[in-house]
Amino acid sequence: MNRLLILFLLCGFDMYAWSKNYKYERIKNVAYKKVDDQILKLDVYVPEGDGPFPSILVVHGGAWRLGSKGQLAIYARSLAKRGYTCFAINYRLAPKFKSPAQTEDCRDAIRWIRTNASKYKANPDLIGAMGYSAGGHLVSMLATTGLTKESDPKGIGTKIIAAVAGGAPTDFRTVRKKSNALSYWFGAERNTEPEAYEADSPNAFVDKGDSPIFFYNGSVDLLVHPDKHPMVGFRGPIALYESLKKVNVDTGLYIGKGAGHIAMMFNKKAQNAGYAFLDKHLKPAKKLRVFWLAGQSNMQGQGVVDLDHPKYYNSGKGILKNVMKHSELADRYNHIVDEKGDWIVRKDVYVRYQTKEELKTGGLSIGYTGYGGKHHIGPEFQLGHSLGDGFEEPVLLIKTAWGGKSLNKDFRPPSAGGESGEFYQKMINEFREGLAKIENEFPYLAELEPVLGGFVWFQGWNDMFDEAARKNYQTNLICLINDIRKEVKQIDLPVVIGELGNGGLDVNENMLSIRMAQKGAAELLGANAVFVSTAQFARKAKDSPNVGHGHHWFGNAESYFLIGDAFGKEILRLNKK
């Protein structure tokens, strides 16, 4: 192999001119560590878009003594194009700085990324690494010796999700005892410093808790043999690959036939396989979690956010803006406003609701109710926050709700017999329309596969006033759920049935009969249906904004918040979250 070409690679040849002009921002020379009078720097590649994006630490090669953060710019650019925030680092170099200085620098880089993730639209919980040659060894060390936040002496954590290691030495315990080939890095021959050779050998630390690693190597690589270097004796990727397989850690290995060290660095098939491996582990499955919310006016949402007229809204008692000010409840509500006190608009949870006057679509926040403006909330508000926190994938809530409608007539399902209800079919049509128009209404979700994760039913008021409706409510509700499951072809679709809890615990026989029917239906529908009690969330009229609206929980925002929270918890439980 041409020694000049090897030196050209190891000294940090920047591939910038070879790359396309990807849509990302490159931020150069950001300091991440000061040690031994040196300031170590990195380049950040930030994709366009809102984020947060999974992150990749990109680690250059150079036999631990040469190279720089620009050497693997081709990897960083490609990964940025794929939607990763990339951090390409410099680290301390031998012979001035001996092992394990380079590994420690990589660990500190992970700590720095985790601490500063939000500045670069990065997800601190989704960090991977990719390196070549010496960099491949270093990312393998991260994968096999990562520390959780709890086990890290610095309280941050160095554990990564997955790594891609090209041309990587993985075990120095087999170096010839009197070979001085690596003394410039370890400080002595292995015969003299065996502990040092072992301490920087990824293969020495394999266990079932290791992070997955994908390896690639040239079959005729003279610098790093796939199996064992014929002269020096250190092991290549095959050793660690086999060890990881034995403990059932996900791993992969691609050997490029006829490829040497430099050629393998540019091998597109290997790179793409590595990128796919990172996608598999660092990017959530490309699914959109869809939840169908249905019912009458209390599913529409009547919780008052900020209206506080003394006459019409009881001076703001029980409105969201005031409820969240109570010090004992601060922790319950601190996720719904930002540092400036503005209402959070989530970028991972979306709502679609067709009201009588308008179609409401967008990121979850206040205002997705039957009223115009942004002055009310319904159960979707905290339910959406709960689901957004519980699922890694984006969430879409499709609301289909109309006030003053009964199950016995308006929502009457086909299998209940008699004439099917107008609003049963309208409910089906609007849900189908919501799925069909995702590409137009939520273009940023268009590439995701919609997966229906649950149906939430919150209704019952109108049926309470009709004897036949009360008598048949349980049967009608079972028929409704069975017909919905048949419609979506999910026989075990998770179902939450919200109690008609208006008025609290002290209510009349008519309301109690509806509650018993709702609970009985859930029990008969089986394990994937649950009845959620809500009566405990009722608040008194004098403590609420709409003192004359008992049928709407007196407009008390705390009631609607807690109802949504209870619904969300049960949906997550049914989805095994």
pLDDT, one tens digit per residue, over 367-379 is 999 999 999 999 9
Tokens of 534: 């809500």
d(CA 122, CA 75): 17
For the chain, the 3-state helix, strand and coil shares in percent, each to the nearest 5, are: 40, 20, 40
* pLDDT the model gives residue 454: 98
d(CA 59, CA 52): 22
As a whole number, the mean pLDDT across the chain is 93
* pLDDT the model gives residue 516: 98
pLDDT for residue 146 is more than 60: yes
pLDDT for residue 145 is more than 50: yes
* pLDDT the model gives residue 37: 87
pLDDT, one tens digit per residue, over 166-175 is 999 999 999 9
More confident residue, 326 or 552: 552
Helix extents (H) in 234-393: 237-246, 261-265, 268-282, 297-300, 320-323, 330-333, 380-390
CA distances from 266 to 15, 19, 81, 217, 455 (A): 10, 12, 17, 11, 50
* Mean pLDDT value of segment 322-329: 81
Whole-number CA gyration radius for the chain: 30
Residue entry with tokens 């098939």? 269
Give the contacts of 104 (CB within 8 A, at least 6 positions apart). Answer: none
pLDDT for residue 355 is more than 50: yes
Residue entry with tokens 């979690």? 289
State what percent of residues in the chain have pLDDT above 90: 89
Q: Are strands 122-132 and 53-59 parallel, antiparallel or unpaired?
A: parallel
Instruction: Walk me through the domains of the chain, giving residue ranges and CATH numbers.
Output: 3-282 (3.40.50.1820), 287-574 (3.40.50.1110)
Reported confidence tier of residue 6, pLDDT bands at 50, 70, 90: very low
pLDDT for residue 63 is more than 90: yes
Q: Which one, of 208, 184, 205, 187, lies nearest residue 196 by Cα?
A: 187
pLDDT for residue 4 is more than 60: no
Residue entry with tokens 């009458």? 296
Reported confidence tier of residue 531, pLDDT bands at 50, 70, 90: very high
H or E element in which residue 143 lies: helix 134-145
Reported confidence tier of residue 10, pLDDT bands at 50, 70, 90: very low
| Contact assessment for residue 434 and residue 291, using Cβ atoms and an 8 Å cutoff | no
Reported confidence tier of residue 326, pLDDT bands at 50, 70, 90: confident
pLDDT, one tens digit per residue, over 382-432 is 999 999 999 988 999 999 999 999 999 999 999 999 999 999 999 999 999
pLDDT, one tens digit per residue, over 435-446 is 999 999 998 888
d(CA 346, CA 103): 38
Comparing 1-5, 89-93, 477-481, the range with the smallest average pLDDT is 1-5
pLDDT for residue 250 is more than 90: yes
H or E element in which residue 303 lies: strand 303-304
CA distances from 474 to 320, 478, 516 (A): 34, 6, 8
* pLDDT the model gives residue 339: 84
CA distances from 485 to 125, 164, 198, 279 (A): 36, 43, 58, 33
pLDDT for residue 3 is more than 80: no
Q: Which one, of 253, 246, 287, 293, lies nearest residue 273 by Cα?
A: 253
State what percent of residues in the chain have pLDDT above 70: 96
* pLDDT the model gives residue 285: 64
Q: Are strands 163-166 and 122-132 parallel, antiparallel or unpaired?
A: parallel
Q: How many CB atoms lie within 10 A of CB 363?
A: 15
* Mean pLDDT value of segment 510-516: 98
pLDDT, one tens digit per residue, over 17-57 is 223 334 899 999 999 999 988 999 999 999 988 889 999 99
* pLDDT the model gives residue 433: 98
pLDDT for residue 310 is more than 80: yes
pLDDT, one tens digit per residue, over 533-544 is 999 999 999 999
Residue entry with tokens 């990324």? 113
pLDDT for residue 148 is more than 50: yes
